[in-house]
Structure formats: C-alpha cells, structure tokens
Structure 1
Amino acid sequence: MRWTSMLAIYVLFWAFSVFLVLPWGVRTTHEAGGEHVPGTAESAPHEFNLKRLAIRVTIVATVLWALFVLNYSYGWVEAGAFDFFDPANRTDMNVL
C-alpha cells in the first residue's frame, strides 16, 4: 500500500474516532455542580477541552489504524468473510 493511501485511511480513522471519543467523560453543568446559564442547552458540556479531545482521538485513531494496517499485511480478516448472501463464495476467516 502506498504511503498516500495509508495517510488518507489514517485521516478517515481520525475523523471517525472524533465521534467515538467525543462523549467520553462529558459532564453537564448540573453534574459538575455549577449553575445553569439561561440560553444554553441543559445537556451542554460544562467544560470543553479541545487539546485533551485531540490527544484522545489521536490515540484511538492510531490504534485502530495500526490494527487495519496489520490486518492488511497479514490478512487476518478478508472481505469474503462477510459475504452473508452468497455462501458459495464465502471464505473462512483466518483465526490467529
């Protein structure tokens, strides 16, 4: 696989991981013991730390991307393993 393809796939994993990591550790103002500010949603986070979010997303995306690259290299799970509609063409999954 070319490095540009690997980079593009990493960016996709990073963007997907944002939605995975975003709800981790979120506390509302009520849960944090603060006073609700009129005009804001009650479910809005009390504090938003972009740096902490970016670090968490980068870690999760890197782990997922590394598993993807290892699977691509070693062929642990192939696309044919998910062919549920045509059992004749289905290949068995390679188990570690």
Structure 2
Amino acid sequence: MKDLELADVHVPVGRNESMSIRFAPNAWKHEEGLRIEYVGVTSFSMESHREIDWTEAETVILDEIIPTQDGCVHEIALTDATVLVRCSDLRATWGDG
C-alpha cells in the first residue's frame, strides 16, 4: 500500500451506503489502485498536518490495522495527513473499482 495516492474518500450519507477510500496507483510502483470498504464504521477522522492543497497528491507512508474488541482501527499516514477509521470489518480490493 505504501506510496499509493489518495484518490477519493466516500463518507456515506444514507443508511445503506458504506464508507470507502480509494487509492490510485503510483506510476513507478503499482499497476492497479486499491479500494478499501469499511463495514460498521463507528468513527472516521482525517487530520491534515498543514493547509489542505487538493492539487498535490497525498501518498501513503504507513498503514496499520489495529485489532479492537469490536473490530479494528485502520490508521493511514499520508504525506501530510492522517486518516483513522474505527469499524467492525474492512475489505480491500485491488483494481480500478
């Protein structure tokens, strides 16, 4: 997952939608992007470490899935931001999806 580029964060507005984060491939390292879908999301936060500049790519530096009693916490450290998702489960799919 390292060096993938943040492409899209979908935060659900309806009850039947799931939260997902899509990462585009890094042209030098990956042939495909990655989509992560989260089930049973209880919290989501994205903290920027500077003023957000949507024209610059945010790349993955580190990602860690920490088990919890009711699921997991997925922490994704980006170039200048941190994403935290607390959920009951997640599913990762390689491809354009």
What band does the TM-score fall into relative to the shorter chain? under 0.3
Higher strand share: 2
TM-score w.r.t. the length of structure 1 is 0.16
Which structure is richer in relative contact order (CA contacts within 8 A, separation 6 or more)? 2
Scaled by the length of structure 2, what TM-score is found?
A: 0.16
Higher share of residues assigned helix: 1
